Chain A
Amino acid sequence: DTAVSQTPKYLVTQMGNDKSIKCEQNLGHDTMYWYKQDSKKFLKIMFSYNNKELIINETVPNRFSPKSPDKAHLNLHINSLELGDSAVYFCASSPPMAGPRGDTQYFGPGTRLTVL
């Protein structure tokens, strides 16, 4: 009964390759996010989608492209992987702001990407 799931959990690949990370949520939330956590544990937002529409697009290289086929899915495709892309990538989702917990984000388990 995983609320926010990501696949794969680990991804090891060579520089220059293209890879995708998939995210699915079964919470019925409208908004989904991608975050990058670097080796110093700093967590930074990359993208956010609301009802399949891109609403946040931080300063992220064009090699990163999110795709939301429907409200429950937000995938991240990365082209021409570089060493600096090595990090943990988290997907998250949130409900609308109204409610006792506001628009609290619920995170997936993370995908550890290692680029060799």
Chain B
Amino acid sequence: AQKITQTQPGMFVQEKEAVTLDCTYDTSDPSYGLFWYKQPSSGEMIFLIYQGSYDQQNATEGRYSLNFQKARKSANLVISASQLGDSAMYFCAMREDTGGFKTIFGAGTRLFVKA
């Protein structure tokens, strides 16, 4: 069973607008971590934001925020005021505390920011 689902293979957004990248996850572990990473065309994996399963508030890091809806098992990434440099692949990931603390990545969403 797929543990991390990113249903949007590709998305377009106009520069300066906000965009939401969807991520749903599946776990029965009460303790887990959720992550978003950005991979630009240059290939490196850049950490964006982290949300712990027990965190009461949604995580924010600059223009990035994570819309954490625990009951729905969703962890959507919101990018505000999109910039051309935001064009990249975005990966959602989950680390469960059981099963050896393995981190599983989603298939990714490719974001295109239009000028």
Contacts and interface: CB of A to CB of B under 8 A. Distances in A.
Interface string A20-46: 000000000000010000001111110
Given A41-B89, A41-B108, A48-B102, A105 B33 contact: no
Given A55-B100, A56-B100, A56-B102, A106 B52 contact: no
A102 B51 CA distance: 8
Interface in A56-111: 56, 58, 88, 90, 92, 97, 100-107, 109-110
Interface residues of B, number: 22
A102 B103 contact: no
Given A41-B107, A41-B108, A104-B35, A55 B101 contact: yes
Contacts of B103: 33, 45, 105
A102 B36 CA distance: 13
Interface residues of A, number: 26
Interface in B84-115: 89, 91, 95, 100-105, 107-108
A43 B45 CA distance: 11
A88 B89 contact: no
A102 B100 contact: no
Contact of A110 (B33, B44, B102, B105): B44
A42 to B, nearest CB: 6
A43 B91 contact: yes
Contacts of A41: 39, 89, 107-108
Interface in B13-54: 33, 35, 37, 39, 43-47, 50, 52
Interface of A: 33, 40-45, 48, 55-56, 58, 88, 90, 92, 97, 100-107, 109-110, 112
7 contacts: A45-B103, A55-B101, A56-B100, A88-B43, A102-B50, A104-B50, A110-B45
Interface of B: 33, 35, 37, 39, 43-47, 50, 52, 89, 91, 95, 100-105, 107-108
